Chains A and B, each alone.
Chain A
Amino acid sequence: MIKRAFAYPYIIWMVIFIVVPLILVGYYAITVTDFYGYTTFSMANFRRFFTEQVMGNRVFVSVATRSLRLALQSTLLCFAIGYPVAYIMTRKEYSEKSVLIFLLLAPMWMNFLVRTYAWLTILERNGLINNVLMRLMNRDTPVIDILYTDAAVLLGMVYNFLPFMILPIYTSLKKMDPRLIEAAQDLGAGGFNTFLRVVFPLSIPGVVSGITMVFMPGAATFVISNLLGGRQFFLLGNVVESSFIQQGDWHFGSAVAVLMMLMMVASMVVLSFFDKGENQGRSAMI
């Protein structure tokens, strides 16, 4: 069968560029190199991650906790903000729908660094929001002072990842047969009941892929926490970046990357209980 052979070049490609790099990262994670360049197998990187203490705090564990907390918060916020948007969109006329989808995707065509950086101008103490509010409220001190706090980091995450939550939910809602809702209402279900028992369960695959697209990127970012958090809200992404780029310690950075992969696998396993579909990740966007 010739058609099967179509897959072979890709399989070779896949092994070289997906499997081998991960094996190399795994190799770095379980080795250490001393000052003279000798490399030995060791679990020291993982041990360091879980045990290193400064002033009575297990620092890396608290970084992981913070990353998970912020990622979770941003996921919940994206869900709370994004679900109604997706729901409203499904009720729109076709041409309006396509405009809305485009409006959600269009910001991605502009560089995300530039967009995130623009938040500095908005959130600064003398920035736009405060300028307006100070004039309205006749005060001369900043009203909202969240730049360089975890609130700003959270805002940056929600801002950057919101479309990734909306679009998959929209896709799954769109596939729903509107007659189902009519049927539910004919059978006497109220608006809320219809939503809870009919609409929401059917949109779960979209919600699940939305979550996978918002959660891990949140824990893995380092740009947002640097720009909007003033480098004071180290996330797992920052640990990896600083290990590789600043300290040149590939072993520890790889160990943290491996832990992030494990977290990802764990979250996928949990989510797979809710979703048996194949439409995962960003591919569910369109």
Chain B
Amino acid sequence: MTRRFALHSVTKKFYLGLVLFFLYAPIFVLMVFSFNESRSRANWEGFTLDWYRVLLNDPAIARALRNTLLVAIFSTAIATTIGTFAAVGIDKLTRRARTLVMGISRIPVMMPDIVTGLSLMVLYLFVIRTFGFGRMGFGTLLISHVMFNVPYVILSVTPRLRRIDPNLYEAALDLGSTPIRAFFKVILPELMPGVFTGALLAFTLSVDDFMVSFFTTGVGVQNLSTYIFSQARMGVSPHINALSTLMFLAILALMFVIHKRDKIHAKRMKERMDVI
């Protein structure tokens, strides 16, 4: 019995390893090729660190990175705020109104990204042409990211709302708290895990997005995705591989730190439990 179980667990490990290898193979490849001397991706021509120097001195990619992060941070903050308040409000709507609003909110989640992107582009250009002001740029890019992020926040926060005791809020009001204050003191703390989940999801999706950015950004505002896409036809330059390598190492380091902390945490918890 134990032997069979052991074999089983080896198979499982092997399978997991295989899938992770599949997911990470391209990442390893681009890491290796970030040290390749040749400008083309075709051949290995020897080791160099030049691409890292090029990367650190490339203002275009720094701008793209900055735009990606700015959009991700701002859109996450805005979407989280809008989404959290909206979730609370929607919960109090009449049943039919709630079903309708939630149904519409779910559209951007289910809709193919390309449709989200082009429908927003059509909207922006319609407004720009009809009213003759504004143009596509950072603003439209940011609005678009907020637009596709808000529903995720709402969907993450809503389940938490079910757990809140409605009497708490009423009690706070009875004790003379303003509704806004009651919201921040009573409801929000309860929602926090859902808010965090929504924010993380929003941030990740914003960083990863290409399609929506592709359709809704304007002149002079490229993020990493659109910058890389516009270059991809000539081959991704090795210094973009260098950037990816650095990003990957940063993520890896973080994961390691978290994992360590996690283990210590778990150990302490266990000790505490033992004491009790």
Contact = CB atoms under 8 A, between A and B. Distances in A.
B120 to A, nearest CB: 6
A88 B24 CA distance: 19
B12, B26, B143, B183: most-surrounded residue (chain A CB, <10 A)? B26
Given A7-B86, A102-B255, A121-B29, A220 B107 contact: no
Interface string A101-134: 0111111111111111111111010101000000
Contact residues on A (Cβ < 8 Å of other chain), bracket: 35 or more
Contacts of B101: 7, 11, 14
A13 B150 contact: yes
B89 A10 contact: yes
A237 B110 contact: no
A268 interface: yes
Contacts of B115: 25, 220, 240, 257, 260-261
Nearest to A15: B104
Contact of B225 (A10, A17, A113): A113
A250 B114 contact: no
Interface in B7-27: 12, 15-16, 19-20, 22-27
Interface stretch (B46-54, B131-139, B197-205): B197-205
A21 B114 contact: no
B33 interface: yes
A54 interface: no
Interface SS, A side? helix
Given A88-B12, A212-B110, A110 B27 contact: yes
A81 B16 CA distance: 10
Interface residues of B, number: 87
Contact of B122 (A99, A107, A117, A250): A250
A159 B26 contact: yes
Interface string A190-228: 000000000000000000000010001101111100010
A94 interface: yes
A264 B93 contact: no
Contacts of B88: 3, 6-7
A224 to B, nearest CB: 11
A128 B29 contact: yes
A40 interface: no
Given A85-B15, A106-B255, A6 B89 contact: yes
B24 A95 contact: no
Interface string A1-25: 1111111111101101111111011
B41 interface: yes
Interface stretch (A45-53, A139-147, A178-186, A277-285): A277-285
B262 A95 contact: yes
A285 B210 contact: no
27 contacts: A2-B180, A3-B89, A3-B91, A8-B89, A9-B86, A10-B85, A10-B89, A21-B120, A21-B122, A25-B115, A98-B259, A99-B255, A106-B252, A108-B207, A110-B244, A111-B228, A111-B244, A117-B232, A118-B29, A118-B33, A119-B26, A124-B42, A126-B42, A162-B19, A217-B112, A244-B118, A281-B110
Interface of B: 12, 15-16, 19-20, 22-27, 29-30, 33, 41-42, 82-83, 85-86, 88-93, 101, 104-115, 118-123, 126, 143, 147, 150-152, 154-156, 158, 169, 179-180, 183, 197, 200-201, 204-205, 207-208, 210, 215, 224-225, 228-229, 232, 236, 240-241, 244, 247-248, 251-252, 255, 258-259, 262-263, 266
In the complex, the 9 A-B pairs of residues with the closest C-beta atoms, listed nearest first: A7-B89, A6-B89, A220-B112, A10-B86, A118-B26, A21-B119, A281-B109, A283-B155, A2-B179
